[in-house]
């Protein structure tokens, strides 16, 4: 389990809300900090991979546990 500087819980939210909330949270982080995002939206797996690539941040890891997707994003 990674240590995140901030946890963004978007469980129960549909696209594009997890990305919207994650973007807002990431904007408040300093370079090098890590954000953990929790989502139950199956589509968020592709969304996050595309969004991270587009924003040039780093997707350190993503996992799925009991229907909850966890994304660890490091701000560059």
Q: Which two tokens mark 17?
A: 């809300």
| Nearest-angstrom CA–CA distance, 35 and 20 | 14
Q: Among 6, 15, 34, 38, which one carries the catalytic annotation?
A: 15
- Is 29 among the residues known to form the active site? no
Q: Within 10 A of 37 (CB to CB), how many other CB atoms are there?
A: 25
Active-site residues, by number, are 15
């Amino acid at each position: 389990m990674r240590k995140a500087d901030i946890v963004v819980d978007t469980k129960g939210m549909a696209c594009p809300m997890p990305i919207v909330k994650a973007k807002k949270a990431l904007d408040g982080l300093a370079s090098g900090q890590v954000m953990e995002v929790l989502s139950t939206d199956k589509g968020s797996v592709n969304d996050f991979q595309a969004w991270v690539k587009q924003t040039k941040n780093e997707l350190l890891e993503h996992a799925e546990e009991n229907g909850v997707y966890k994304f660890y994003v490091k701000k560059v």
